[in-house]
Amino acid sequence: GIVVLGLNRSHAKNALNKNILKMMTKTVDALKSDKKVRTVIFRSEVPGIFCAGADLKERAKMHSSEVSSFVSKARATINEMANLPVPTIAAIDGTALGGGLELALACDIRVAASSAKMGLVETKLAIIPGAGGTQRLPRTIGVSLAKELIFSARIVDGEEAKSIGLISHVVEQNEAGDAAYRRALALAREFLPQGPVAMRVAKLAINQGMEVDLVTGLAIEEACYAQTIPTKDRIEGLLAFKEKRPPRYKGE
Q: Give the whole-angstrom CA distance, residue 75 versus residue 90.
A: 17
Q: Answer whether residue 97 shows pLDDT above 70.
A: yes
For strand 95-97 and strand 49-51, is the pairing parallel, antiparallel, or unpaired?
parallel
Q: Select the CATH number that applies to the domain covering 2-192 from these four: 3.90.226.10, 3.30.460.30, 3.60.20.40, 3.40.190.10.
A: 3.90.226.10
What is the per-residue pLDDT for 244?
Answer: 81
What is the per-residue pLDDT for 251?
Answer: 60
**Domain 196-243 grouped into CATH 1.10.12.10:** yes
User: Which amino acid type is present at position 86?
Assistant: V
Average pLDDT for the chain:
92
Domain ranges of the chain: 2-192, 196-243
C-alpha angle 96-48-37 in degrees, rounded to nearest 5: 65
Q: What amino acid positions are annotated as catalytic residues? A: 54, 99, 102, 122
Q: Answer whether residue 123 shows pLDDT above 70.
A: yes
